[in-house]
Structure 1
Amino acid sequence: MTLDVEAARSEQAIGLDHLWDRLRHVEQRVRAAVRERRTSDPDPDDPYRGQYLTPQAVERILATPASAWSPGMGLGEPPAPPPGSRIERLTGTFGLLPLDLELLLVAMAPDIDTRFERLYGYLNDDLTLRRPTIGLALELCGLPGAGAGRFRFSAHAPLIAGGLLETTEPERPLLSRGLRVPDRVTAHLLGDDELDSALYGLVRVGRDADGRPPEPTRRIGAAASSAGGLVHLLDKGGNAGRLAVEALVGIGRQPLVLDVAAFAARPADTTVRALAREARLSGSGVVLGPLDGLEPQRPERARLLRELCADLAGVPLIVHGTQAWDPLWAPDSPVVIAVPPLSPRQRAEQWARALSGSQGPSDGSSRQGGHAALGDEFAAAVATYRLDENQVAKAAGVAIRTAAAERRPPSADDLRAAVRAQNGAGLARLARRIEPAVGWDDLVLPEATSRQLRELALRASHRDQVLGQWRMRPGGGRGHGVIALFAGESGTGKTMSAEVVAAELGMELYVVDLSTVVDKYIGETEKNLERIFAEAAQVNGVLLFDEADAIFGKRSQVKDAHDRHANVESAYLLQRMESFDGIAVLTTNLRANLDQAFTRRLDVIAEFPVPDEEQRRALWDRCLGPQIPRGDDLDLEFCARRFELAGGSIRACAVTAAYLAAETGRPLTMAQLVSAVMQEYRKLGRLVLESEFGPWLDQQWHSA
C-alpha cells in the first residue's frame, strides 16, 4: 500500500513538472508576442493605450496583412506529456489534439500566474480584457484567425463539448470572444481530486464505510466497461443501487452516485455538462436511481434523461429502477440485467450492517451469521418490509437516534416506527392513512375467522420466500402481492381486523376512499386506480378497499356503452390485482355481488358472521373497557342475550352510554346503557320490542 502511494505521488510530481514546463513554453510565446507588438507600435509607452484609437493606428491596422502571424515560430515544439500524467490522461480521455492542449494551456495561464492577466490585457489592446480571446489564443499558437484553428472552438469540438473550455460574450464576433477554463479543470491538472463544487448536494462518491473496495459484481461490471457503458438494472426487490456501486469499484472506477430528486430540480444544461466533465476527469462511473423517482414517463424528464445518456457516452452509466427501459430514453439501448429480490437472510444482513454502522457483503455470505447477527426479534420485525439500501440506512438511523434519546438500546418497535416514517406521502394523498392502534386481543371473532386472519399475516410475512425464492407463482406477469377478502355484514369487524393485520405486520393501513376513485368520465376510474396501485407498491402498508363490490362487481351482458365501459373497468381490475406486489384487503357486505373471477385471484377469504351471545358478551365488556366506572346494576349478560347487535353497533352503544354517564358524573348505569341501545335501534330502523327490552322498556318511557 505504501509503495502505491509513493508511486502515485511520484507520478503527480512528474505531471506537475511537465505542466510548469508547458506554461513556461506559453510564457515564451507571450513574451515574443509582446516584443513583436512593441516593435510595430509607434508609441508603446502610451499610458492610455487601449482606451482610444488614433488615425495613425487606424492606418496601421488597415496596412496589416491578413496573413498568419506566428510569434511562436522558432521557439521549438512543446514537450510531450509524460506517460501516466494528468495531462496525458486528459488528452486521451477527451480526444484532444496537440493544438487543443496548447489552446487550453494558453487559456488556463491566468488562473495559475497573475502576470498573464496584464500581459493578455496588453496584447488584447484592452486592459479590461485580462483573459485571452479566441483570436489571441490562435495567434499565440501561430495560427491565422481565418484558418482551420477557429473550428477548434465549435460546439462539437472536444474542448467545448467536453466542458474544458468556455467562451464568454457570445454576442461578440468569434475571434473577439473571451476564453475561460473552469476552475475544476485547473484544479484537476494541479492535482486536486475534490468534486466539482457545481455538483455539491447532487452527487456523492459511493464507497464502503471502512474504505475497503467491495466485492465486484462481474457481470454488471463487464457490461458497464464495454462499449457505450450504459447498463439498466431492472430491480425486482434486490439491492440494485449497492450492486451498481460494487460493479464500478470492481472495474476500477470511482462511483458517482447521482441524487435523482436533486438532479430533476436543477438546471439541466449546466448540471449534465458538469457531471460528464467530472466523470471523465476523475475516471469515474455514474450511478443513477431509482429511476422511478425521476418519472421518465413525463416528456420533460425523458428529455433530461436522454441528454444525460448522450453527454455520458463512453462513460460507464448504471441506471437502476423497477420500470422497464424505454428506448426513447437514450440514443443507445442499454444492457438490461435483472436484479432478483434479496433472500430473508440477505435482508437481515442488510439491516444488521445498517444498525451496526458497517457495510458488508451483499451476496449472501456474512461474517456475522445472518439472522443471528440481527437477533430473532429484530429479524422478525423487518421480515415483511421491502426497502432499498438507502431506506434501510435511514430507518436504522432513525431507530438508533430514537433509542439514544431515551438512553436505551433500539427495539423492534423502534425499527417498525422508523420504517413507517419512510413511507412517502403519495399514497396518503389518495387514501386515508391509519396508524394501527389495536391488536389481536381487541378482536372478538370466531376461531375460524381468527385463523384466516393469522393466515393472511403469515402469507404477507413469508411471500418473498414462497413466491420469490420458491417461485410458487411463476410467469404470466403475476406479482408477489397478497390479496384477501373480508365478507360479512356491516359492523362485524372487517375494517378493525384489517387494522390488526397491519399492526401485526408493523405497517400502516391505507383506506381507499371510493369517492376519489370512481369517475363518471370513461377511463378516469382506471387512471385513479392505477395511481393508487402504483403508489401502494412503493410503501410498506396494507391497502384496504372498503365496500369493494362497488368497483369489483360482476361483469354483465353488454346492452349499451355503459355496460361495455363497466366491463372494461372490471377487466382492468382483474389484470391489475394479479400484477399487484403489495398487500390488499377487500371488504364487502354482499359477497355474492363480487365477480367470480376476482374470487379466484384471492389468497384468503375471511367470513365475518354476526356475533353470537357469548361473543356479544365479550364485545360489551371489551367496548366499555376498564376505564369507565360501572354501576352495580349493570347487566351485560342481559344485553348480550336480548340485543342481537354486531360489534360496530355495540361499540356505538358503549360510546353513547359513556357520554350519558359523563354528563351525570356518576358510574354508568343499566338505564343509560339501555337508552343508548334504543338510540342505536332507531338509527338502524329496528323496532323497539318489549320481548327484547323487557322491564327496561317501561323505565325508558317514564324517563322520557
Structure 2
Amino acid sequence: MNLTNIGKSWDEANYRYLSAALAVVRNILEDHTDREQNQPQEKNPEHLQQALEEASAAMPTPSALERVCKMFNLSSFERDLLLLCAGMELNGDFAKLCAIIHGDLQRAYPTFSLALAALPNVHWDAIAPNAPLRHWRLIQLGEAHALTLSSLRIDERILHYLTGIQYLDERLAGIIEPLQEVNDLVPSHQDLAERVAAVWAQAYKVNSLPIVQLCSKETASKRTIAATICQLQGLSLWVMPAQVIPLAPSDLNNLIRLWTRETILSKCALLIDCNELDTNDTARLNAIAHFIERTNGFLIVTSRERISLSERLVVNFDVHQPTTKEQGTVWQDALAAMSDDKTQSVYAPQMNGQVKSLVEQFNLSAATIRAACAEAAGQLAQTSQNDITSILWDACRVQARPRLDELAQRIEPSGDWEDLVLPEAQKQILWEIAAHVRQRSTVYNNWGFAAKSERGLGISALFAGASGTGKTLGAEVLAHRLRLDLYRIDLSSVVSKYIGETEKNLRRVFDAAEQGGVILLFDEADALFGKRSEVKDARDRYANIEVSYLLQRMESYPGLAVLTTNLKSAIDTAFLRRIRFVVQFPFPDTTQRAEIWRRIFPAKTPTADLNALQLARLNVAGGNIRNIALNAAFLAADAGEAVQMKHVLRAAQTEYTKLEKPLTEAEIGGWV
C-alpha cells in the first residue's frame, strides 16, 4: 500500500470536506441576509448538506474539522462559529456577507453579535472565557467597547490544522524544539525504554497517564531513551529546557495552555530537560512544578536527581551507564564505523585488546564513545600518526572531562619521575599508587575483590609535607605517567557555610569526575579534615557529616583522590585509617636540594658556571627553588646573558624577602 497516495487522498478529501462545510455556513449567512433585506429567495440547501455528507463518507479517516470538534468538544453552534471565522481567511464571500449583515462596510468581519443572530442552535455560554473556543484560543477577540461587537479571528495554528497542515505553533518556537535523531540503544537501555513504553501503554488505557522521570548524571543516553520510548508509542518528541519556563504567572499559564493544545492536536510528547537546573533557584523550581503538574499528555522529565512532584503520579527510572560488556560492543561498532570498509574495521586489529583498557578506565556512555571515535578519526585524517590506541585514549580524556570550571581547575601535568626528588621510600609508595590505579580492574573484577566487598575500593592518598616540598608535583607525575587528567579542587568554593551545600558541591565533583576516572587533588585539605570537633551545635554536627561524606565518596570513587596537607598532625587519626596511602614529603636536605638545582633549569636555558652544591646551601624547599630559578632566568634574559650565580643571588634575595627570612652568609658566601 502506498502511504504517499493515502496521505495525498486524505489531503484532497479533507479539503473537499472543509469546502463543503464552509458552503453550508455561507448559505446560512446568505439566508439571514435575504431575510434581513426582506428578499427571500428560493434555495435548495439540501444539496449542500448532501455534498457535506458525501465528502464525509469519502474521508479515509476523520477530517481535521471533525477531529477538532471531537477533541475540543464543540457544539454545533461553536462548530459553525469556528467555520465562520475560517471562511474569512479562505473565502472572500464571507467578508462581504459580514459587512452586509452589520450594515457597515467597515465592519467586514464576524462578531459574536453576528453569530448569535445568524447561526442556528445558539447558546450564550459559547462565548464564555471558559468555553472551548476561548479557553483553547481557537478564536481570538479584537479590541472593542463591547464583547459581542469585538471582531473575531480564527487562530492561525487552528486554521492551518483545518486545512491539513501540521506544524508546531510558532509561539512555541525557540522554547520547544524537536528531537528526531535516535541512535541505537545498548540492550539495557533498550529494555528500559520498552518498560517505560509499557507503563504508558497500560496507563493510557485507564486514562491515568503518569509523568516519567529519567534520572542520571549523563544527558545523551536519557534523550535517546526518551526518543525510543516515543518511537515505540508512535509519538513525536519535543524538548524544552527547564530554564526557558517563564516565571510570570500569565506567561506560564499561556505556555501551559499552548502546549496542552498541541498535545490535543497532535500525537506528541514533551521532554523537560532539568539536567542543568539550579536546585537553589526556588522560583524556577516552583514554576517547573506548576508547569509539570498542570500540563496534560505525555511528559518526560530528565534530571540528575529526582525532582519532587506532589500533584501528579510520577514513575521514576534511574538510567545507569552501559555495562562493561555493552561499552565494549559499542567500542567495536564505533571502531568499525571509522573504517572506509564498513564490513571490517582497519582499526580494530590495531587495538590488540586495548578496548578492554579503555572500558576499564573510562566509564563512558554510548554517545561519548562515538564522539571519542569521531574525534580520533579526525585526528588520524589530519596527521600521519598511526597509534590509534594513544589517539583514542586522549580522545576519551577530552570527551570525558568533567564540567567543574567553578569548583576545580584542570592542571596540565608536565612532571615525570626524574623531576621528583624524593627519598626512595616515598617514591616507592608513589609507584605503588600508580600500580593500584593501573591494575584496579584486574584485582577488583577479574580476581574477585569487588564481589567480596564493595567497601574501600576507592584509591585515596594523603600527601603530607611543608609548602613547596613537591606534593602537587607528585600528583602531576602520577597523572602524567597514568595519562589521566588532574583536577585541583578549590575547597574554598566547595565548602559552604550553608548546611547541606558542601555535600552537594562534593557530589557534583565526584559525579562529574567518575566518567573519566580523573585524578582529584584536594589541596590543603586540613581545612576540611581537621580534628573531629566536639558537637556543640548543629553546625559542628554537619561539619563532621561533610567530612564523613567526602571520605565515603573517596572510598567508592573509581579513580584516584589525593588530599594534601601541610600539617599531618592536624588530620584526625580516624580519617587517616580510611585513606589507603600516606606519603610524607620531607623538607629536602642539602643533597636533595643540590639534585633539585641540577634539574630545575630546562635544557634550552643558557647557564654559565652554576654550582649546584653552593646553591644547595639555600635552606628552602623545592617550590621556593623553582621560584628563584624562574626569577633568575628573567633577570638573565633581561640582561642578555646566560643564567649565572649573580642572577640567582638577586632572585634568592627577592624570594627570602617574600618569606620574611634573612639570607645568611653561610648560604651565599663565595657565590660571586
- Give yes or no for TM over 0.5: yes
Aligned match for 1:323, one of 288, 292, 305: 305
Which residue of the partner structure matches residue 665 of structure 1? Answer: 640
Contact map agreement 1:377 1:412 (CA 8 A) in 2: no
Aligned match for 1:119, one of 73, 93, 97: 97
Q: 1:96/1:378 Cα in 2 relative to 1: closer, same or farther (>3 Å)?
A: farther
Question: Residue 250 of structure 1: CA displacement?
Answer: 0.8
Question: Residue 185 of structure 1: CA displacement?
Answer: 2.2
> Match of 1:629, SS?
coil
Which residue of the partner structure matches residue 336 of structure 1? Answer: 316
Structure 1 gap ranges (5+): 42-70, 359-365
> Residue 219 of structure 1 aligns to which amino acid in structure 2?
R
Question: Residue 258 of structure 1: CA displacement?
Answer: 2.4
Contact map agreement 2:601 2:629 (CA 8 A) in 1: yes
Higher mean C-alpha displacement, 674-683 vs 72-81: 72-81
> Match of 1:256, SS?
strand
Which residue of the partner structure matches residue 438 of structure 1? Answer: 414
> Residue 571 of structure 2 aligns to which amino acid in structure 1?
L
Q: 1:528/1:128 Cα in 2 relative to 1: closer, same or farther (>3 Å)?
A: farther
Q: Give the distance between the partners of 1:137 and 1:498, measured in 2 at CA.
A: 81
Is 2:84 the counterpart of 1:106?
A: yes
> Residue 167 of structure 1 aligns to which amino acid in structure 2?
Q
Is 2:117 the counterpart of 1:135?
A: no
> Residue 230 of structure 1 aligns to which amino acid in structure 2?
I
Question: Residue 243 of structure 1: CA displacement?
Answer: 0.5
Q: 1:121/1:349 Cα in 2 relative to 1: closer, same or farther (>3 Å)?
A: farther
Aligned match for 1:627, one of 600, 604, 607: 604
> Residue 85 of structure 1 aligns to which amino acid in structure 2?
P
Question: Residue 242 of structure 1: CA displacement?
Answer: 0.9
> Residue 163 of structure 2 aligns to which amino acid in structure 1?
L
Which residue of the partner structure matches residue 498 of structure 2? Answer: 524
Contact map agreement 1:552 1:595 (CA 8 A) in 2: yes
> Residue 491 of structure 1 aligns to which amino acid in structure 2?
G
> Residue 629 of structure 2 aligns to which amino acid in structure 1?
A
> Residue 197 of structure 2 aligns to which amino acid in structure 1?
G
> Match of 1:13, SS?
helix
Q: 1:489/1:223 Cα in 2 relative to 1: closer, same or farther (>3 Å)?
A: same
Is 2:243 the counterpart of 1:285?
A: no
Counterparts of 1:187-586 in structure 2 under 5 Å? 187-208=160-181, 217-225=193-201, 226=203, 227-235=208-216, 237=218, 239-263=221-245, 267-289=251-273, 291-295=274-278, 298-313=281-296, 315-328=297-310, 331-344=311-324, 346-347=326-327, 372=348, 411-412=391-392, 415=395, 419=399, 427-430=404-407, 433-440=409-416, 443-444=419-420, 445=422, 446-454=426-434, 457-458=437-438, 484-500=461-477, 506-507=484-485, 509-512=487-490, 514=492, 523-524=497-498, 527=501, 530-531=504-505, 533-534=507-508, 537-538=511-512, 544-558=521-535, 565-575=539-549, 578=552, 584-586=561-563
Q: Deviations over 1:226-259 (max 9, x none)?
A: 2324111122558222101101101111112224
Q: Give the distance between the partners of 1:473 and 1:288, measured in 2 at CA.
A: 38
Higher mean C-alpha displacement, 547-556 vs 94-103: 94-103
Which residue of the partner structure matches residue 636 of structure 1? Answer: 612
Q: Give the distance between the partners of 1:471 and 1:158, measured in 2 at CA.
A: 61
Q: Give the distance between the partners of 2:304 and 2:356, measured in 1 at CA.
A: 25
- TM-score with structure 2 setting the length: 0.77
> Match of 1:661, SS?
helix
Contact map agreement 1:100 1:159 (CA 8 A) in 2: yes
Sequence identity percentage: 24
Q: 1:152/1:89 Cα in 2 relative to 1: closer, same or farther (>3 Å)?
A: same
Contact map agreement 2:373 2:392 (CA 8 A) in 1: no
Question: Residue 326 of structure 1: CA displacement?
Answer: 0.5
Q: Deviations over 1:254-273 (max 9, x none)?
A: 11222444446995344433
Structure 2 gap ranges (5+): none
Question: Residue 484 of structure 1: CA displacement?
Answer: 4.2
Q: Give the distance between the partners of 1:458 and 1:172, measured in 2 at CA.
A: 80
Question: Residue 458 of structure 1: CA displacement?
Answer: 4.4
Q: Give the distance between the partners of 2:359 and 2:247, measured in 1 at CA.
A: 33
- TM-score with structure 1 setting the length: 0.74
Contact map agreement 2:179 2:239 (CA 8 A) in 1: yes
Question: Residue 662 of structure 1: CA displacement?
Answer: 2.7
Contact map agreement 1:352 1:374 (CA 8 A) in 2: no
Q: Give the distance between the partners of 1:654 and 1:439, measured in 2 at CA.
A: 16
> Match of 2:238, SS?
strand
Q: Give the distance between the partners of 1:191 and 1:543, measured in 2 at CA.
A: 58
Contact map agreement 2:215 2:319 (CA 8 A) in 1: yes
Contact map agreement 1:384 1:460 (CA 8 A) in 2: no
Q: 1:465/1:304 Cα in 2 relative to 1: closer, same or farther (>3 Å)?
A: farther
Contact map agreement 2:372 2:392 (CA 8 A) in 1: no
Which residue of the partner structure matches residue 49 of structure 1? Answer: none
Q: Deviations over 1:55-94 (max 9, x none)?
A: xxxxxxxxxxxxxxxx999985964684623424444444
Question: Residue 449 of structure 1: CA displacement?
Answer: 3.7
Q: Give the distance between the partners of 1:280 and 1:387, measured in 2 at CA.
A: 39
Contact map agreement 2:362 2:396 (CA 8 A) in 1: no
Which residue of the partner structure matches residue 21 of structure 1? Answer: 20
Question: Residue 14 of structure 1: CA displacement?
Answer: 2.7
> Residue 448 of structure 1 aligns to which amino acid in structure 2?
Q
Q: Give the distance between the partners of 1:347 and 1:131, measured in 2 at CA.
A: 64
Q: Deviations over 1:118-171 (max 9, x none)?
A: 333433445444442233334444134xxxx333344443444444x1332477
Q: 1:157/1:614 Cα in 2 relative to 1: closer, same or farther (>3 Å)?
A: farther
Question: Residue 283 of structure 1: CA displacement?
Answer: 0.8
Q: Deviations over 1:311-367 (max 9, x none)?
A: 531x21111112213124xx3121112222223454566688889999xxxxxxx99
Contact map agreement 1:382 1:416 (CA 8 A) in 2: no
Contact map agreement 1:12 1:85 (CA 8 A) in 2: no
Q: Give the distance between the partners of 2:323 and 2:525, measured in 1 at CA.
A: 34
Q: Deviations over 1:399-421 (max 9, x none)?
A: 8788888899994487368538x
Q: How well do the aligned residues superpose, as a CA RMSD in angstroms?
A: 4.8
Q: Give the distance between the partners of 2:147 and 2:412, measured in 1 at CA.
A: 68
Aligned match for 1:176, one of 138, 149, 166: 149
Q: Give the distance between the partners of 1:327 and 1:100, measured in 2 at CA.
A: 37
Question: Residue 492 of structure 1: CA displacement?
Answer: 2.1
Which residue of the partner structure matches residue 44 of structure 1? Answer: none
Q: 1:297/1:651 Cα in 2 relative to 1: closer, same or farther (>3 Å)?
A: closer
Which residue of the partner structure matches residue 585 of structure 2? Answer: 608
Aligned match for 1:653, one of 599, 605, 628: 628
Q: Give the distance between the partners of 2:264 and 2:175, measured in 1 at CA.
A: 17
Q: Deviations over 1:417-460 (max 9, x none)?
A: 8538x865xx53455x3441524357415432422552575499
Q: 1:600/1:674 Cα in 2 relative to 1: closer, same or farther (>3 Å)?
A: same
Contact map agreement 1:548 1:588 (CA 8 A) in 2: yes
Contact map agreement 1:492 1:608 (CA 8 A) in 2: yes
Contact map agreement 1:382 1:415 (CA 8 A) in 2: no
Aligned match for 1:85, one of 62, 65, 74: 62
> Match of 1:242, SS?
helix
Contact map agreement 2:466 2:586 (CA 8 A) in 1: yes
Which residue of the partner structure matches residue 588 of structure 1? Answer: 565
